[in-house]
Structure 1
Amino acid sequence: MLLVRRFFIFAVLSCLITFPVLAQEQWEVGQEFSDCAGCPKMKVVGPGSFTMGDDHGYKYERPAHRVTIDYAFALGVYEITFDEWEACAQELACKEAPDDHGWGKGRYPIINVTYEDIGDYLQWLSEKSGRTYRLPSEAEWEYAARAGTTTQYWWGDEVGKNNANCRKCGSKWSGFGSAPVGSFKANPWGFYDMHGNAWEWVADCWSPHYALAPVDGSARMDGNCKEPVTRGGSWYYFPKLSRSAYRYKNAENVFSYNISFRVLAELKK
């Protein structure tokens, strides 16, 4: 928990620091990159505005509010995989790969890691790359999950069949376990599994509403920081929990076969 929070604070401060490796980089929206062999594939997201939340959804999703993100960032194309975690473990910066619940490792999303474990991985990526890696904020996550759409899921208001890995969602994994990342279609911005597969931890402290929430894309840090926010739903839960707007929480010391994460890389403005 402390490590993850430390990297969020470092991310805020980093805008005041010049990193030579970043100063030479030019980014285009949709550009993909990976900072090392074994590092996650990242995709550049451009600035923009969107309506976050849903006034017709659960109380936790209200009030819907306009958020403007005036900076570019890069988000992981996929949830972090066992292979990517193993690259960190081999350099003794992360704990050994946790239990895969018998589903498989490789390209399956990493599971059974705590919030503190994630902090170790973020530190390793940041030190290895020379840029700041962190968890996305709720706003950054939902912005990328919606990918310019306003429907319940990026593909529409009905879950349909075989669009995502969630209970009764029509895939061979639904209700049984996680799927290898990228097993379903990407959203319009090229991100996979933003709906279902595994819950994804984000940087925000839990607050049961959006009253007074930041509107600039930053993480909300005035809530219950012992229970960080999770987004996206999972293979175990019903489709309504995989909607773009749905949000919930988990205790920071929880490790589960339902929870994973994806990373954000800050880019030089």
Structure 2
Amino acid sequence: MRPIGLLLLTALALCACSREQAASRDARGEAAEVRMPQITVTGDDSINAALNWQPPAVTLSAEQLPEARKRAAQALQEERLYAGADDAIPLFLAIRRLAPEDAGARAGLDRALDSLLRQGERALKRAEDRDDAAREAAQIAAVARAIDPNDDAVVAYLGRVDEVEQLSRLNQASERALREGRLGENGGGALAGFREVLKWKPGQPRARQGVAAVESDLIRRAEDAALAGDFDTAQIWLNHAARVREQAPTVADARQRVDGIRIGRIAALRESGVRDLASPLGLKGAREKLAEVLRIAEPGDPVAADFRLRIELATHYGLFRPGQAFTDAMTGGGRGPEMMVVPHGAFQMGAGEDELGAGDAEKPAHYVRFDRGFAMSRTPVTVGQYRRFVQATGYRPRATRRGHSIVYDERSGNFVRRSGVDWQSDYSGAPARADMPVLHVSVYDAEAYAEWLAQQTGHGYRLPSEAEFEYSVRAGTQGRYPWGNGQPPDDFGNLTGGNDVSPSGRHWNNAFVGYGDGYWGAAPVANFRANRWGLHDLGGNVSEWVADCWHASYRRAPADGAAWFNPGCRARVVRGASWASAPVQARAAWRSSSDSDMTNARVGFRVVRGI
């Protein structure tokens, strides 16, 4: 066959018309520049057979001519034109072979040809979408060519059949490529064939449907990739689909569906990962799911961000959140002390080289990091809380067994030993209210209470490490005092203030000038504002036991915030200012060594719990 471009250009230059119309155009000279189509021989025998129609055999004798004329006229009227031996064209051709000059047969054959071409036009209208109609049009072309290959109307019709045949073959080849998955997203394939058809025949329905099918297949591949979790490949297929038809709504809809698949997968992974976080052993699985979420999520995806935050929080806080307040149920009934979740982080522990009032025991300043948060009781343990422990266990604290402790004596203004004083007493030895911080307890008494809490709640209660205490005292600041530098702000806590007055009118000789908190002695817990992390009475009211053994400096101190403990040590660490501490002892880095059995009116304790 000739090249498709030449055939199509030729065919498009021609239009379907009757033999009379073609003849009138020739008379006016309007078709002088039209290139007539040519049918060339190819190696395709089916094409040769279609273009070389052989009429059915009709045998006539002279005596049968009148009857044959009637039968031909009847067949023409019924538009039975060429299929059988009793149809119009085979009969008219047989009549002309027997009587070449028969004018009636010639006129009848002309009318039959016109009718044949009209049938051909109807077939051509269907042929763009139906291969059977294309075959019918080609058969009619072969019949018309056999009748009069030089007739202008026949020549024009043959050109249109050639065009339709070429387009049909191109559509068929493109459809075969489509079925075989050769879409042509990168050139060639089904898409190139359909586009070639549309180039020569804009808007041709069959080719347009083919283009839409290519787009649909690309979209299907995108959705299959998305369902398999390969959203990068899905995006590639969608981008190919978007180039098939400009601004096609189907592609926009497909992007929404793929995004829906992505969102659904992210949500399912996050939900499963959150369930994993309910168990400490599930953190690894949750992190693996987060990695998958981050792989498929768009930048800034809020669900991915929330999942990442949950894992980060679980890594540092388990099932808790920084700043969260909670209490644990106790097997004996009731609940334990209110706890505050302290955020994980790092700080510079100890005093700087040039810090005023600092001693060698507070140095060297060193970096301590808490990779996981912890919970600290909001206040020091109260007399009421400690009473419950003593009553539940029958435990006899050190001062009770010993029969005395150190109290403040108002008459002399000194701290003195007094008999009959124990954990039930206040700073002066009088009975203590239930909401007062428990005093007159040794570090062993404090540890016994923490162990009882652990047994009652099933959680790891203990005394804070020295690092945990200072970290919580500073609460994110790094000044000389828990509040920063300079004078304490109003209502900071129970400190030795120049404006404080004892019941007998005494004043402190060494105090914060101009400061007064209204108390001489310990105050009820939580009577002053909490620090930034929601903890009360840190750095004031009572000094507190911590878990560490005493070391004369911080050389070789743990960097992870753990207690620096040596089994069997007798000297333990006390931290934090009390109601009777000098200003230099109110510094955030201040620490003191005390014998493990020591009890007095200035030292209490609080507990921490792992999370």
Structure-2-length-normalised TM-score: 0.38
- 1:177 correspondence with 2:521: yes
- 1:33 correspondence with 2:290: no
Deviation at 1:54? 0.9
SS in 2 for 1:218: coil
Which residue in the other structure is 1:128 paired with? 456
Task: Kindly provide the amino acid, as one letter, of the partner of residue 30 in structure 1.
Answer: G
Which residue in the other structure is 1:104 paired with? 432
- 1:191 correspondence with 2:492: no
Contact 1:201 1:261 in 2 (8 A): yes
Q: Residue by residue, what CA displacement relative to the aligned partner does 1:87-114 show, whole Å, maximum 9, x if unpaired?
A: 2122125438532222632111000111
Q: Residue by residue, what CA displacement relative to the aligned partner does 1:228-256 show, whole Å, maximum 9, x if unpaired?
A: 10000211111221221111121101111
Which residue in the other structure is 2:351 paired with? 54
Contact 1:103 1:177 in 2 (8 A): no
Contact 1:207 1:224 in 2 (8 A): no
SS in 2 for 1:225: coil
Which residue in the other structure is 1:3 paired with? none
1:232 to 570, 576, 581: 576
SS in 2 for 1:112: coil
- d(CA) in 2 for partners of 1:130 and 1:71? 20
Unaligned runs of 5+ in 1: 1-19
- 1:80 correspondence with 2:381: yes
Which shifted more, 99-108 or 68-77? 99-108
Task: Kindly provide the amino acid, as one letter, of the partner of residue 35 in structure 1.
Answer: D
Contact 1:133 1:264 in 2 (8 A): yes
SS in 1 for 2:570: strand
- d(CA) in 1 for partners of 2:373 and 2:604? 24
- The size of the alignment, in residue pairs, is 246
**Structure number with higher helix proportion:** 2
Deviation at 1:38? 4.9
Which residue in the other structure is 2:127 paired with? none
- 1:218 correspondence with 2:555: no
Q: In 2 relative to 1, CA 247–224 (structure 1 residues): closer, same or farther, beyond 3 Å? A: farther
Contact 2:443 2:596 in 1 (8 A): yes
1:65 to 346, 366, 390: 366
Could you say which structure has the larger radius of gyration?
A: 2
- d(CA) in 2 for partners of 1:81 and 1:115? 15
- d(CA) in 2 for partners of 1:190 and 1:43? 7
Contact 1:152 1:243 in 2 (8 A): yes
Contact 2:424 2:431 in 1 (8 A): no
| Matched-pair identity in % | 35
- d(CA) in 2 for partners of 1:99 and 1:38? 24
**Structure number with higher strand proportion:** 1
Deviation at 1:23? 7.9
Q: In 2 relative to 1, CA 177–224 (structure 1 residues): closer, same or farther, beyond 3 Å? A: farther
SS in 1 for 2:547: strand
Q: In 2 relative to 1, CA 224–142 (structure 1 residues): closer, same or farther, beyond 3 Å? A: farther
Structure-1-length-normalised TM-score: 0.85
Contact 1:131 1:266 in 2 (8 A): yes
What is the Cα-based RMSD across aligned positions, in Å?
2.2
Q: Residue by residue, what CA displacement relative to the aligned partner does 1:43-81 show, whole Å, maximum 9, x if unpaired?
A: 111211100011222222111111011112100110000
Deviation at 1:40? 0.9
Contact 1:228 1:249 in 2 (8 A): yes
Contact 2:439 2:604 in 1 (8 A): yes
Q: In 2 relative to 1, CA 46–88 (structure 1 residues): closer, same or farther, beyond 3 Å? A: same
- d(CA) in 2 for partners of 1:256 and 1:42? 26
Which residue in the other structure is 2:393 paired with? 92
Deviation at 1:123? 1.5
SS in 2 for 1:85: helix
Q: In 2 relative to 1, CA 49–170 (structure 1 residues): closer, same or farther, beyond 3 Å? A: same
- 1:257 correspondence with 2:601: yes
Unaligned runs of 5+ in 2: 1-277, 283-317, 398-422, 498-514
Deviation at 1:192? 0.8
Which residue in the other structure is 2:495 paired with? 166
Deviation at 1:22? 8.1
- d(CA) in 2 for partners of 1:54 and 1:93? 42
Contact 1:85 1:94 in 2 (8 A): no
- d(CA) in 1 for partners of 2:593 and 2:567? 11
Q: In 2 relative to 1, CA 120–22 (structure 1 residues): closer, same or farther, beyond 3 Å? A: farther
